[in-house]
């Protein structure tokens, strides 16, 4: 601009644009930037956790497809199918000694809503159950940790949970039909609530609700989680010498959950809900406790994958890795016991829960070799203690952080990759289901293990109902059955599935029903076809 010309922008405006912002405006802009950075970090962290969860679910689903569902899981899927179609109280169902009513059955209903009744929905529900258990365990493990330590602890938890998946038998235990592993979610969620929000007003009522729902689903919660809360929170209340405290309120909430669950169950029964078989909650003679202890040690090693499995090519490697995970869990348990007064609530609760679960199992009538499902909660609880003991809450220095995260990530990825490369298994009863459907045989009876599993695999097109053989009589099965299935006025059962040489042989069925109109062989089964409705000749469950 030439001298003497007037600035079109007005006097002094150009000079104002060239001047720096006042200090108070610069400070405000800096504060806005700092506020945006933590928000962006939180969004990135949330996206990373969500992506990791989806990837882990996909891996769990792929591993689950490498095992077979059986009639136990099929019956749970059929119960969920009824709930999905409005039969919420499951009237007429006779369920086993654990109902899985408030966790696994709703998850099965969700997957069936997406995929329909069938094997895929059952496998997806199993994978989702294990994912939720893993998420709860990770949330407990990463408490009070930051940065690389959080990632390392998360990977350590997944490594312990993945160790048993080297063998197909453990896959059936952890990633198949509801088999008590999902009950761990109630324990871990309760402990997480107590650890993160012990002083909040909603904590005690919410804890009571979680424990009540858990007990209605599986009484393991009553015998493990409730005693753990009573012992730990009661100890902390007495140590603080304050009867009116958060810990005292948690003790009251845990104690109140027991009668509340009984009242809720009775109310549901009054409304016509399901009935169930009484659990085997009995003490064994003291003379058997030493033997039970050795059996329990075997079951613990099986649970952690520390047993050589002959069907696995990498059996020794998997067993060694499982043994390392078991030793890490034992180290975590010992660390909490040694530093008891300084330990967090969650660590104390996990430690007591493991001891109570194993102790109750030893003195009960349930210890049996390879019967690890009754102490399934020990695995995720041990995984949390192992991660917290082996990975510090803070990892300083880039080399140390890189080494810790890399080592734990590899420890998690190797067993997951090994298990995921196992080829999917075709259901053993798939030829049977296909043959029956092709020949128009849609309703019949069989032994328990050949019944509901075919119903599930066929999507309900072929329906087979379970029966028992009592002497020369064929009676209605008294475990995981639905009474209208056996109503002759509603259904027409015209065939029997018999084993070629087992308990449910063709000769056993012929003694009760007479000679069939035709007999056909399909794989290892014999199909006996009749011209009359066999349901009229069934004896009721005694």
User: b/e per residue, 103-126, with b = 16+ CB within 10 A?
Assistant: bbbebbbbbbeeeebbbbbbbbbb
Query: What's the CA gap between 222 and 262, in Å, rounded?
Result: 11
Judge if 407 and 364 occupy the same domain: yes
152 vs 386: CA distance, rounded Å = 12
Q: Is there a domain that residue 2 lies in?
A: no
Q: Could you tell me if residue 496 is inside a domain?
A: yes
Q: Are residues 346 and 480 in the same domain?
A: no
- Shared-domain flag, residues 270 and 128: yes
The number of distinct structural domains making up the chain is 2
Q: Spell out the per-residue pLDDT of the chain, length 542, in tens.
A: 444 444 444 444 344 444 554 555 445 545 544 455 677 777 887 888 888 889 999 999 999 988 888 889 999 999 999 999 999 999 999 998 889 999 999 999 999 999 999 999 999 999 999 999 999 999 999 999 988 999 999 999 999 999 998 877 778 888 887 778 999 999 999 999 999 999 899 999 999 999 999 999 999 999 999 999 999 999 999 998 877 889 999 999 999 999 999 999 999 999 999 998 887 778 889 999 999 999 999 999 999 988 876 655 566 788 889 999 999 999 999 999 999 999 999 999 999 999 999 999 999 988 888 778 889 999 999 999 999 999 999 988 888 989 999 999 999 999 999 888 888 888 888 899 999 999 999 999 999 999 999 999 999 999 999 999 988 889 999 889 999 999 999 999 999 999 887 789 999 999 999 999 999 999 889 999 999 999 999 988 77
Q: Give Cα separations from 128 to 68, 213, 377 (angstroms).
A: 17, 19, 17
Q: How far from chain centre, in Å, is Cα 336?
A: 25
* Residues 382 and 462 placed together within one structural domain of the fold: no
Beta bridge partners of 470: 473
User: Is residue 4 a part of any domain in this protein?
Assistant: no
> Residue 313: what pLDDT?
56
Nearest residue to 135 (alpha-carbon basis) of 395, 380, 467: 380
Q: Name 481's bridge partners.
A: 94
Phi/psi at 529 (5° precision): -105, 130
Q: Do 121 and 171 belong to one domain?
A: yes
Final residue before a domain boundary, out of 361, 396, 420: 420
The phi, psi pair for 100, rounded to 5°, reads 55, 35
- Final residue before a domain boundary, out of 420, 452, 482: 420
CB-side exposure of 253: number of CA atoms within 13 Å? 25
Residues 494 and 523 in one domain: yes
Residue-range definition of the domain harbouring residue 246: 44-420
Residue 21 in domain? no
**Tens digits of per-residue pLDDT, 429-468?**
889 999 999 999 999 999 999 999 999 999 999 999 999 9
Q: Report yes or no: 166 and 219 within 8 Å, Cβ to Cβ.
A: no
Same domain flag for 92 and 180: yes
On the 0-12 / 13-18 / 19+ scale of CB atoms within 10 A, 87 is: middle
In DSSP terms, 451 is beta-bridged to none
Q: Distances in Å between the alpha carbon of 296 and those of 254, 301, 374, 487?
A: 27, 9, 10, 43
Decide: residue 153, CB within 10 A, 0-12 exposed, 13-18 middle, 19+ buried: buried
Same domain flag for 300 and 386: yes
Q: In 3-state terms, what secondary structure has residue 278?
A: coil
**pLDDT at position 22, please?**
56
Nearest to 95 by CA among 110, 111, 82, 86: 82
- Answer yes or no: do 232 and 137 share one domain: yes
213, part of any domain: yes
Which of 420, 438, 462 is the last residue before a domain boundary?
420
Say if residues 534 and 496 touch (Cβ distance below 8 Å). yes
Indicate if 92 and 159 belong to the same structural domain. Answer: yes
Is 442 contained in some domain? yes
Q: Is residue 479 part of a domain?
A: yes
Would 239 be classed as within a structural domain?
A: yes
Indicate whether 351 and 465 sit together in one domain. no
CA distances from 280 to 173, 211, 273, 367 (A): 20, 20, 22, 11
Phi–psi pair at 386, nearest 5 degrees: -65, -45
* R_g over Cα of the chain: 29
Same domain, 226 and 139: yes
């Amino acid at each position: 601009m030439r001298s003497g010309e007037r600035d079109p922008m007005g006097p002094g405006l150009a000079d104002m644009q060239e001047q720096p912002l006042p200090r108070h405006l610069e400070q405000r802009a800096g504060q806005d930037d700092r506020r945006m950075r933590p928000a962006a970090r939180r969004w990135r962290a949330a996206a990373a956790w969500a992506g990791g969860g989806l990837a882990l679910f996909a891996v769990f689903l792929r591993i689950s497809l490498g095992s077979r569902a059986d009639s136990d899981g099929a019956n749970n899927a059929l119960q969920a199918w009824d709930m999905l179609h409005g039969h919420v109280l499951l009237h007429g169902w006779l369920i086993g000694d654990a109902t899985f009513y408030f966790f696994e059955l709703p998850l099965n209903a969700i997957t069936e809503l997406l995929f329909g009744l069938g094997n895929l929905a059952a496998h997806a529900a199993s994978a989702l159950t294990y994912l939720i258990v893993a998420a709860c365990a990770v949330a407990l493990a990463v408490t009070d940790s930051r940065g690389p330590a959080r990632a390392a602890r998360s990977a350590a938890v997944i490594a312990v949970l993945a160790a048993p998946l080297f063998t197909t038998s453990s896959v059936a235990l952890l990633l198949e039909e509801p088999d008590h592993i999902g009950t761990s979610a109630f324990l871990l969620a309760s402990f997480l609530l107590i650890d993160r929000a012990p002083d909040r007003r909603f904590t005690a009522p919410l804890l009571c609700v979680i424990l009540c729902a858990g007990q209605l689903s599986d009484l393991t919660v009553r015998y493990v989680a409730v005693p753990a809360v009573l012992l730990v929170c009661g100890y902390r209340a007495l140590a603080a010498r304050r009867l009116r405290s958060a810990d005292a309120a948690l003790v009251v909430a845990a104690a109140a959950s027991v009668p509340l669950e009984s009242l809720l169950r009775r109310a549901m029964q009054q409304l016509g809900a399901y009935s169930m078989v009484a659990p085997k909650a009995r003490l064994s003679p003291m003379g058997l406790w030493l033997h039970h202890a050795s059996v329990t040690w075997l079951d613990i090693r099986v649970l952690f994958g520390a047993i050589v499995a002959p069907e696995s090519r990498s059996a020794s490697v998997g067993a060694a890795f499982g043994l390392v995970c078991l030793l890490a869990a034992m180290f975590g348990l010992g660390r909490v016991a040694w530093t008891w007064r300084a330990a967090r609530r969650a660590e104390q609760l996990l430690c007591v829960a493991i001891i109570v679960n194993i102790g109750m199992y030893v003195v009960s009538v349930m210890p049996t070799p390879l019967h690890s499902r009754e102490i399934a909660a020990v695995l995720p609880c041990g995984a949390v203690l192992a991660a917290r003991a082996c990975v510090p809450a803070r990892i300083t220095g880039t080399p140390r952080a890189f080494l810790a995260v890399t080592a734990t990530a590899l420890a998690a990825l190797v067993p997951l990759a090994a298990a995921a490369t196992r080829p999917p298994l075709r259901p053993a009863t798939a030829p049977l289901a296909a043959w029956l459907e092709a020949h128009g045989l849609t309703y019949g009876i069989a032994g328990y293990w050949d019944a509901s599993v075919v119903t599930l695999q066929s999507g309900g097109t072929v329906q087979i109902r379970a029966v028992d053989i009592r002497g020369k009589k064929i009676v209605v099965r008294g475990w995981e059955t639905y009474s209208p299935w056996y109503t002759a006025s509603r259904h027409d059962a015209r065939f029997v599935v018999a084993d070629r040489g087992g308990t449910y042989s063709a000769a056993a069925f012929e003694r009760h029903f007479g000679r069939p109109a035709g007999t056909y062989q399909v794989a290892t089964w014999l199909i006996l076809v009749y011209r009359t409705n066999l349901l009229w000749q069934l004896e009721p469950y005694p």
